[in-house]
Amino acid sequence: MSEAGQKRDRRTARQRLFEAPSIDRMAPVSGFLVYAALVLWTLVVLFPIYWILITSFKTAIDVNRGPVYLPWIDFTPSLNAWNDLLIIDFGDTVKAYTNSLIISTTSTLLCITIGTMAAYALARFNYRPKFGNIFAFAIILIAAVATIALFKVDWRVTSATAAGLFFLFIRAAGRRMKGTVGNGDILFWMISQRILPPVVVVVPIYLMFQSVSLLDTQLALTLTYCVANLPIVVWLMHDFFATIPLDMEESAQIDGATRFAIFWDIVLPLTKNGLVATALLILIFSWNEYLLALFLSTSKAQTMPILVAAMNAGDRGILWWTMCVVIIVMIVPVVLLTLFLQRFIAKGLLLGAVKG
């Protein structure tokens, strides 16, 4: 073969390394770099989980020795931490685990139920509430709260009086109001409630539940988690509902279907992937919530994040080995649920237009 032919062959071989063979495949060099980056990032993401796992099998002496990572090489695995948490402190662990399970599941179901219907209403109906009525409601609400806090008036009497005053205001002056807000304003206002830092409102929430004797109860945490996560459900589900053609619902309505039947039999099945993805997201938020649980619970309604934080208390310092066991017990249900619902999550997050 001539020298020119050899050069041409070498040039062709280099082109094969850097040029994609087809539009749906990457070039060999590009594929190698992409997969190498993915493997490296996977190691970065999984290393903290690996560290937590091996630390749960260490003794206090092994932890204090410094960073050792290889079982049976750097240290001898031990079940002391698991024994302390799951046998000696079994009652406290089960109590916190049960509280987290009940509170997270109940608040997620309640939040998804209310938020989904609210999102559908905002996606299908045009609301034009008058700004003056909203302002009057806010003023009356602030006055009612101040009356209860400053003058110690019974909250039931104050609430009934405030509701009566608001009704009289609407009947007397509501019709003269001109300025209105639309669905977009309502949607933005709802998501702005999530932008508000929880620490700003946690003290008023604490005082409110204290006045009705609901502190350190599962009901208080369930209601608080539901209200805190409701804007996320409305915001996400509104986008999913907006992708469904209105013609499908109008055709069903012509055939005699009620609004609730359309919502239950047509809309929800078409958005089940988005609904599952949203529900899992809310469940994770509720399961991992720490600040609200710290303020609103002490011992009876203590959740798993509070139990993890408790490992940092005491004169012995941070009990890393026991803390890692609690973290593993805490994240296993969420990880398993995510793996089980993975196909719904992927479809829900990538949900596009639905064609009828």
User: For 36-68, how does the pLDDT look when each residue is reduced to its tens digit (9 = 90+)?
Assistant: 999 999 999 999 999 999 988 988 888 888 777
pLDDT tens digits, one per residue of 156-184:
899 999 999 999 888 888 777 778 888 88
pLDDT of residue 14: 62
Which residue is listed with tokens 């049960």? 98
Computed over every residue of the chain, the mean pLDDT equals 84
Predicted confidence band at 259 (pLDDT cuts at 50, 70, 90)? confident
Predicted TM-score (pTM) of the model is 0.81
Please tell me the total number of residues recorded for the chain in this structure.
Answer: 356
| Single-letter residue type at 113 | T
Asked if 42 contacts 317 with a C-beta cutoff of 8 angstroms, the reply is no
Q: What is the pLDDT of residue 88?
A: 73
Of the ranges 1-10, 82-91, 214-223, the best mean pLDDT one: 214-223
Residue 345 has pLDDT above 80, yes or no: no
What is the rounded (10 degree) CA torsion for 226, 232, 233, 236? 180
Question: Does pLDDT of 113 surpass 60?
Answer: yes
> Does 145 have pLDDT greater than 80?
yes
Give the span between the Cα atoms of 138 and 161, in whole angstroms. 14
Give the whole-angstrom CA distance, residue 350 versus residue 183.
24
Nearest to 103, CA basis, from 218, 247, 190: 218
CA distances, 338 to each of 167, 226, 343 (Å): 47, 21, 9
pLDDT at 273: 84
How far, CA to CA in Å, does 165 sit from each of 67, 142, 170, 179? 66, 13, 9, 21
Residue 352: per-residue pLDDT: 45
Q: What number is the average pLDDT over the span 271-297?
A: 91
HSE, side-chain direction, 13 A CA sphere, residue 340: 8
Q: What is the pLDDT of residue 194?
A: 82
pLDDT of 205 above 80: yes
Mean pLDDT of 328-351: 76
**Rounded Cα distance, 45 and 351, in Å:** 26
Q: CA 304, CA 311: separation in Å to the nearest integer?
A: 11
In the predicted structure, residue 221 carries a pLDDT above the cut 90:
yes
CB contact set of 266 (below 8 Å; sequence gap of 6+)? 248, 249, 252, 257
How remote is the C-alpha of 140 from its chain's centroid?
A: 32
- Which pair of tokens denotes residue 189? 């206002």
Arithmetic mean of pLDDT, 310-321: 72
